[in-house]
Chain A
Amino acid sequence: MSKYTEDDLREELKTKEYEYGFYTDIESETFPNGLNEEIVIAISKKKEEPEWMTAWRLESFKVWKEMTEPEWANVHYKKPDFQAISYYSAPNSKPKYDSLDEVDPELLATFDKLGISLDEQKKLAGVAMDVVVDSVSVATTFKKTLAEKGIIFCSISEAIKEHPELVKKYIGTVVPQKDNFYAALNSAVFSDGSFCYIPKGVRCPMELSTYFRINQAGTGQFERTLVIADEGSYVSYLEGCTAPSRDENQLHAAVVELIALDDAEIKYSTVQNWYPGNAEGKGGVYNFVTKRGLCENNAKISWTQVETGSAVTWKYPSCILKGDYSVGEFYSIAVTNNFQQADTGTKMIHLGKNTRSTIISKGISAGKSQNSYRGLVQISSRADNARNFSQCDSLLMGNECGAHTFPYIEAKNKSAQIEHEATTSKIGEDQIFYCNQRGIDTEKAIALIVNGFSKEVLNKLPMEFAVEAQKLLEISLEGSVG
């Protein structure tokens, strides 16, 4: 075998096509393009929502109209035309099925291609899935097992109908409607998403998981996720996405709210692989996501993310450490290639006493991509003995990409202990030489090094997910991960 060098790898990266790019032809019911009050009301009506929800949406829409798109992020893109997007699209084969056999076979084939054979996974992985294809949940499994424990895991539209008291109490409490431009847009037009409630003292017996998929051309997807862990409970939640190859830019503006009450723990893991655009930087998904969690006393929220897709990513999963002794964690790998741009990071807001947070961020940039870490650690004056550790490492492959670090650290308490460190490096020739010398070829060596570089984060993913994360790293940096 001829010698495989970093140049070859770069060459491969350039030519590597998006493997999951396909399009399932399911008859969809789609709203006309554009956004106005009638569309918002129509979405609400379509979902058979109660009045308070419609009012809440309209209020959000009003706020959104007043707002302008944020421009501070280190990304450059053509702004989406919000009037050229259809805000609702749902697969047609309604009503809901009793068993999987009744599901549109084409839809099932889509899942097969994605490697999520539902029936198999039910047994093998022990993962309950709330599969979202174009905004409406079509299959929810393991509901019964969960129901026995009193766990509610359903689509948010179902929750609005069946558990309005919970939704009403918590929606918008962590991410208010007027939080930012995209959160306001999402609050007005969100079509579906997942809802999860873990009752007091219950440890959720399985990993809850949702697969998202943008399917219909020209439809933005506006997901809304609400996870509530009641006192002393535990849940691990997985979210993963793949999207088919498309030419025009698709907009994805999701909102995720996590609420961990006293002594509760939420682990939220994401693998994101939206279509990144082709090698010339054409097409690709815009991913503008607002994710935030609230920790009460002694609660813990842990975010883990593997970001490999999207043309533009704008995402800052955050923790508000409100209660005393609460803990926030953020583990992230962001891989950018070709013309991808990522501006991602976290915010740790320390409000309670003796709060702790950890941030580990790994950025890998290749091709002509730009990868930015932007984080905020804020210690309020009442947050005695707050502790933070942040580490941001960047790996550059090739000299046409860029890595940027924008950490903001604001301390107002003298007992705070904050450490931040960041490094930027490339794969060392000596490291590769060391491997070569021991009979490991360059391709394998790069794989080993990249793997080692991101190991701290990969280790944090649940078992079932780690495999998929590896797979996605493989696609993004083909040939470098073994």
Chain B
Amino acid sequence: MDLKDKLVSSFMAFENFVDVDAAIHDVRSEAIKTFEIQGFPTKKDEAWKYTSLNSILRHDYSVFPKEENALEYHDVKKYFIHDIDTYKIVFIDGKYSSHLSQTTHDGIDVCLMSAALSKPKYRLIIENYFNKAAAKDSLTSLNTAFSQEGAYIHIPKNKVVEKPIQVLHFSTGNESALMLQPRNLIVVDENSHVQIIERHQSLTDNPILTNSVTEVFANKRAIIDYYKIQNDKDSASLIDNTFVKQKRESHASVHTFSFGGQLTRNNLNFYQQGERVDSTLKGVTIIGDKQHVDHNTLVHHIEPNCESHQDYKGIFGDRSTGVFNGKVMVNKEAQKTNAFQANNNILLSDKASINTKPQLEIFADDVKCSHGCTIGQLDESAMFYMKSRGIPEKEAKALLMFAFSNNVLDSVKIPEIKQRITKLIAKKLGVNLGFDL
């Protein structure tokens, strides 16, 4: 039985332990139908031209992990941003782990999707926001059908959340192969400000497939900073679908740091639904081995006077492959749009490859849209300069690569994350640099 059939039949089992009378369940039934019709995307789909899921779909994933698993904090401490105080929502094999987490209902809601879906006090928010930003493509629908657990974050009006929120997903490998489908909802009301860090981490060599969907709503003048750290084991794959809807004068930024995993696909979609909105999409990808990272972004400019900035840097070694597919759409009404998109790549090996497709679709005349994309090598004269001053080749290379990705790190607003990323990059490049960025 292939994975698609398995998932479709698992849906019936799933219906046994969720409330099928809830309004939300209609959304689920609808979604499983969509998935059943569309199936998993193949290379024939334009959006998946360069990424094949075949290699990860052949495993026999279990969809419902059987037992509860516990982890000790000191075993997994290194995966947290632990040097600052944060709220934490931690999941182990898809199940909420209360003793690792630190949630709150004090003025803001930082809690669980399962609670939000079942308790009446959240009904209004769920009705207004749940599945309202997510696309109806097959993988998102698959997640919607099984949506049950994940992070639920609601920040009411005029609140600046004083510490960042960490969302962590661990998988322990108690199952021979596991598929996880976390579903997150983040609603930030007027004038509020929040910072979120998301990480998926496998603790096992068993194959893990995560198909995550996150919906983010930035209301008037809200500010959201979202950081995704992807440094998973080579046995784990991640399909991340993030949808951000922005109302007027809101600022939202998503930084994606992809250093690991067998296959990582980031579907990042921004919809600008008000005037003077600002969207930032940035990413650094440094991979080797046979890893594959695919960034698929969409910025849809719907209203006038908005801005978007995209900046993706990639360094590809060994037999790794990188994909960047960035799309900027400017509606007829969205005059005075200012959209910028850049994608710069370095290939370190002849076996590595990069496919990039920066795409513009513009229907308004008074706009400034530009995109640039380069593929190149490290500057030989710069290398020579450093080597002639006694810096070994490896360090010199690393320095240049740091400089290359610095644009993206510059806009990271939490210093601890910047440090962490710097360390990760240094580790990835196999050097020990005696400075903190």
Contact = CB atoms under 8 A, between A and B. Distances in A.
B384 interface: no
A422 B370 contact: yes
A403 B360 contact: yes
Nearest to B376: A417
Contact of B365 (A72, A399, A415): A399
Interface stretch (A56-64, A404-412, A448-456): A404-412
A37 interface: no
B365 A421 contact: no
A245 B353 CA distance: 49
A430 to B, nearest CB: 12
A122 interface: no
Contact of A408 (B350, B357, B360): B357
Contacts of B369: 422-424
Given A405-B360, A408-B355, A414-B349, A420 B365 contact: no
A402 B377 CA distance: 35
B377 to A, nearest CB: 6
B416 to A, nearest CB: 34
Interface string B352-367: 1111111111111111
A410 B353 contact: yes
A420 B358 contact: yes
B373 A407 contact: yes
Contacts of A409: 354-357, 373, 375
Interface string A387-402: 0000000101111111
Interface string A226-247: 0000000000000000000000
Contacts of B347: 411, 413-414, 416
B59 interface: no
Nearest to B347: A414
Given A416-B375, A417-B377, A418-B375, A401 B358 contact: no
A407 B375 contact: no
A405 B376 contact: no
B374 interface: yes
Contacts of A417: 374-377
Given A400-B332, A403-B360, A407-B358, A418 B368 contact: no
Interface string B321-353: 000000000001001000000000101111111
Given A417-B376, A418-B373, A399 B362 contact: no
A402 B373 CA distance: 22
Contact of A426 (B356, B365, B373): B365
**Which of B352, B353, B360, B364 counts the most chain A CB atoms within 10 A?**
B360
A396 B365 contact: yes
A162 B348 CA distance: 53
Contacts of A424: 360, 362, 367-370
A409 B345 CA distance: 11
Nearest to B339: A424
Interface in B39-57: 46
A379 B362 CA distance: 28
Contacts of A400: 332
A381 B335 CA distance: 43
Contacts of B359: 404-407
B390 interface: no
B355 A420 contact: no
Interface in A363-385: 379, 381
A70 to B, nearest CB: 13
A402 B369 CA distance: 13
Q: Is the interface of B mostly helix, strand, loop or mixed?
A: strand
B434 interface: no
A420 B373 contact: yes
A410 B367 CA distance: 29
A356 B346 CA distance: 19
A419 interface: yes
Interface in A65-82: 72
Contacts of B351: 381
B370 A421 contact: yes
Contacts of B365: 396-399, 401, 426
B357 A406 contact: yes
B355 A426 contact: no
B120 interface: no
Contact of B371 (A381, A411, A412, A421): A421
A405 B356 CA distance: 13
A424 B362 CA distance: 8
Interface residues of B, number: 35
B377 A404 contact: no
A290 to B, nearest CB: 21
Contacts of A426: 365-367
Contacts of B354: 409-411
B353 A411 contact: yes
A93 interface: no
A410 B325 CA distance: 12
Nearest to B327: A406
A425 B364 CA distance: 9
A209 B395 CA distance: 59
Contact of A399 (B332, B372, B373, B375): B332
Nearest to A374: B359
Nearest to A417: B376
B361 to A, nearest CB: 5
Contact of B375 (A401, A408, A411): A411
Nearest to A380: B353
A142 to B, nearest CB: 45
B376 A396 contact: no
A414 B353 CA distance: 8
Interface in A29-58: none
A399 B360 CA distance: 16
A413 B350 contact: yes
B355 A410 contact: yes
Nearest to B346: A414
Contacts of A401: 363, 365
Nearest to A373: B360
A418 B370 contact: no
Nearest to B337: A424
Interface in B367-395: 367-377
A195 B355 CA distance: 37
Nearest to A421: B372
B373 A414 contact: no
A402 B361 contact: yes
A79 to B, nearest CB: 20
A416 B348 CA distance: 11
B352 A422 contact: no
B376 A418 contact: yes
B42 to A, nearest CB: 15
Contact of A415 (B357, B358, B363, B377): B377
**Which of B349, B365, B370, B371 counts the most chain A CB atoms within 10 A?**
B365
A86 B412 CA distance: 65
A424 B364 CA distance: 10
A367 to B, nearest CB: 12
Contacts of A399: 332, 335, 363-366
Nearest to B321: A412
A396 B332 CA distance: 12
A406 B328 CA distance: 11
Nearest to B366: A426
B357 A407 contact: yes
A412 B353 CA distance: 4
Interface in B132-163: none
Contacts of B370: 421-424
A399 B335 CA distance: 9
17 contacts: A381-B350, A394-B360, A394-B362, A396-B364, A401-B365, A402-B362, A403-B362, A405-B359, A407-B358, A409-B375, A410-B354, A411-B354, A413-B350, A419-B373, A420-B374, A424-B367, A426-B367
Interface of B: 46, 332, 335, 345, 347-377
Q: Kindly list the 4 A-B residue pairs having the minimum CB-CB distance in the complex, ordered from nearest.
A: A396-B365, A414-B347, A418-B375, A412-B353
Given A413-B350, A417-B376, A418-B374, 11 more contacts: A394-B362, A396-B364, A398-B365, A402-B361, A402-B363, A408-B355, A415-B377, A418-B375, A420-B372, A423-B368, A424-B369
